[in-house]
Each structure stands twice: as structure tokens, then as C-alpha cells.
Amino acid sequence: MNERDQVLQAAADLVAAFARNDREAYFGAFSTDASFVFYTLEQPLLSRDAYQALWDTWRSEDGFEVLSCTSSNAFVSLQGDVAIFIHDVATELRMQGEQHFSQERETIVFRRQQQGLWLACHEHLSAMPEGLPTP
């Protein structure tokens, strides 16, 4: 499998773990020093542990549950031991008993580990621009 396909597979595995609420597999797809920028939060999350703590709070206090997550329009740019993955993501989730649907654009930066495994080291989620058609 070539490097581009390895990154696409790592991204697909990450999205699939998120879609099935598999906390272990989802956070296992990120390096411990990963950072996260979500437009829905006031501050960046500067470690995997910080995001896991927030995830756990969402689950316990808000009943957070991912119902579905679909990736489309994937693009990979290889930059040596770093790969930039961009895609559109459609997510359906439940919080406080209500279902929410979002259409967003996301950039995930992957870094190749010594053993050849690609782990995500940065995730940036953006709102989809208004007025664009949804697939």
C-alpha cells in the first residue's frame, strides 16, 4: 500500500471509530501531543488528554452520542513524514436528548511514526460556508 493509501486508511479508520462511538479506537488514532481546533469551542484543546476529558464530560453531562459520520471529498497532501488530509464531514449526533446534524469541513494532519503507522497530530474543524449545497 502506498503512503497516500495508508493515510486515507488511517483517516477512514479514525472516522469509522468516531461514527461508532469507539472511544478507545478514536483517541488511539491520535498522538498524545495532538491539538484540536473546533469552531464550536472558545479555546483550542492542546492535548489528546484535554479532548478526552471534554468528550467524557459531554457523554456524562449531555448524553453525547455520535449517530453517524460520513466523509466525502477527501484530499491528501504528502509532506515527507507529515500528511495533510482534508475532507467534508456530515455528522449526526445526540446531545441532551436532541439530534443534531452538521455539515463541516475538516483538516487532519497525520505524522508518520517510527514504526510506519500514521497518527493524527492535529485536527481543525470548520463550519461549512453558508449557501453551499449539501450532498
Q: What is the mean pLDDT of residues 98-119?
A: 96
Q: What is the mean pLDDT of residues 62-89?
A: 97
Residue 111 pairs in a beta bridge with 82, 119
One-letter-per-residue 3-state SS of 18-80:
HHCCCHHHHHHCEEEEEEEEECCCCCCECCHHHHHHHHHHHHHHHCCEEEEEEEEEEEEEEEC
Q: Is residue 79 part of a domain?
A: yes
Amino acid 134: pLDDT: 54
Q: Is residue 38 part of a domain?
A: yes
Q: What is the mean pLDDT of residues 15-24?
A: 97
Amino acid 132: pLDDT: 56
Q: Is residue 132 part of a domain?
A: no
| CATH for 46 | 3.10.450.50
The range of the structural domain enclosing residue 95 comes to 3-127
Query: Is pLDDT of 130 > 80?
Result: no
pTM: 0.93
Instruction: State the average pLDDT for the chain.
Output: 95
- The proportion of the chain whose per-residue pLDDT surpasses 90, expressed as a percent, equals 91
Confidence class of residue 133 from pLDDT cuts 50, 70 and 90?
low
Q: Is residue 135 part of a domain?
A: no
Q: Is residue 60 part of a domain?
A: yes
Amino acid 129: pLDDT: 83
Q: Is residue 72 part of a domain?
A: yes
Total number of domains constituting the chain: 1
Confidence class of residue 125 from pLDDT cuts 50, 70 and 90?
very high
Rounded distance, CA 128 to CA 108, Å? 16
Query: Is pLDDT of 135 > 70?
Result: no
Rounded distance, CA 59 to CA 82, Å? 32
Asked whether the beta carbons of 6 and 76 are under 8 A apart, the reply is no
What single DSSP character describes residue 96? T
Rounded distance, CA 108 to CA 110, Å? 6
Sheet holding 65-79, edge to edge: 30-38, 118-127, 98-112, 82-95, 65-79
Q: Give the CA dihedral 103, 84, 57, 24, nearest 10 degrees.
A: 110
Q: Is residue 133 part of a domain?
A: no
